[in-house]
Amino acid sequence: MIALQQVTKTFSISPTTSFTAVDNVSLTIARGSMTILKGPSGSGKTTLLALIGCMTRPSSGRIMLQGVETSFFQATDRSEGFDSSSLPERFLTEIRRSTFGFIFQQFNLIKGISALQNIMLPAYPTGEQQPVVRQRALELMEQFDLLRHCNSPVEWLSGGELQRVAIARALINNPIAIIADEPTAHLDSQLSQAFMESIGLLKDSGKTVLIASHDPIVYNSSRADQVVEMRDGRIVQQEPSV
């Protein structure tokens, strides 16, 4: 479970001016739920995702992570978890790697290498044994019906297949939560539906899902437990979907 308590993120553009991307946001994300962040571009969705995903620290406020197993903190120790924003850099990276899987707007796959290698890539620096990672990657490819493209360079894949590779890559380190930033921005309706189905299945398997999107197919989805509307860095409306 993730709880944001009065989180603010400010970027300083020049010595005198600054820009507030996220302004006093408080939000609770239940484990195994799907939360959609809705709003126009520039509303702070991406920054909020980055904050939750331990990619950057808030300027003020706390982000409590509960139920996250790490090498330095036992989940059973404190019931409300720990504050990720106060952690030193190396712990933050460990959490980021093992807790969150990211899916990006542009998929961000590396050209010139195979789909399999792309999927395995986030696991390389963890020092996990390569045969183990490879096996897991193959299982994921099977799950997403990608096995025949095992060794194909990613340039040969269609849009839908690329999307599935991106999802598989986000899952390679067995994360608790999936974070997706505008995942359907470059997809047609059919593929967008397919994406929401895949994500729905992930949610069913127990993963916490967090999506930022201004695509109606996403935020109107029946699978969403919570839709948070943002504008100018603030939450303007919050509705738990029925």
Partner 1 sequence: MHHALSRHRNILDFALSSLLRRKAKNISLFLVYTLIIFVIASLIFFVQALKREAALLLAEAPDMVVQRMIAGRHDLIPTNYGEKISAIRGVSEVTPRLWGYYYDPVFQANYTLLAPDTAPPPPGTITIGSGVARNLRIKTDDLVTFRSYSGTPLLLTVSGIMPLHSELVSADLVLMAAEDFQAMFRMPKDVATDLAVTVANPRELVTVANKIVELFPDTRPILKSELLRTYDSLFDWRGGMMVVMLAVALLSFVIFAWDKASGLSAEERKEIGILKSIGWETGDVLLLKFWEGAVISLSAFLAGVLLAYLHVFFSSAALFSHALKGWAILYPQFTLVPTIDGYQLSVLFVLSVLPYTAATIIPAWLAATIAPDAAMRS
Binding site residues, partner 1, CB under 8 A: 46-47, 49-50, 55-56, 93, 96-97, 102, 104, 108-110, 112-113, 117, 121-130, 169, 173, 181
Q: Which residue, 23 or 225, has its beta carbon nearer to partner 1?
A: 23
Minimum distance from residue 167 beta carbon to partner 1 (Å): 13
Minimum distance from residue 55 beta carbon to partner 1 (Å): 4
Minimum distance from residue 22 beta carbon to partner 1 (Å): 12
The CA distance from 85 to 203, in Å, is: 26
Q: Which residue, 14 or 111, has its beta carbon nearer to partner 1?
A: 111
Minimum distance from residue 57 beta carbon to partner 1 (Å): 10
The CA distance from 129 to 112, in Å, is: 23
Q: Which residue, 97 or 223, has its beta carbon nearer to partner 1?
A: 97
Phi, psi at 230, each rounded to 5° = -125, 150
Q: Which residue, 116 or 141, has its beta carbon nearer to partner 1?
A: 116
Minimum distance from residue 124 beta carbon to partner 1 (Å): 4
Q: Which residue, 46 or 79, has its beta carbon nearer to partner 1?
A: 46
How is residue 218 written in tokens? 């996403």
How many Cα atoms are found within 13 Å in the side-chain-facing hemisphere of 57?
12
How is residue 98 written in tokens? 């093992």
* DSSP per residue, 113-174: SBHHHHHHGGGGGGT--HHHHHHHHHHHHHHTT-GGGTTSBGGGS-HHHHHHHHHHHHHTT-
The CA distance from 108 to 101, in Å, is: 13
Inter-residue contact 35 to 29 (CB < 8 Å):
yes
Q: Which residue, 73 or 104, has its beta carbon nearer to partner 1?
A: 104
User: Which one, of 148, 101, 105, lies nearest residue 121 by Cα?
Assistant: 101
Residue 71: exposed, middle, or buried by beta-carbon count in 10 A (0-12, 13-18, 19+)? exposed
Minimum distance from residue 198 beta carbon to partner 1 (Å): 19
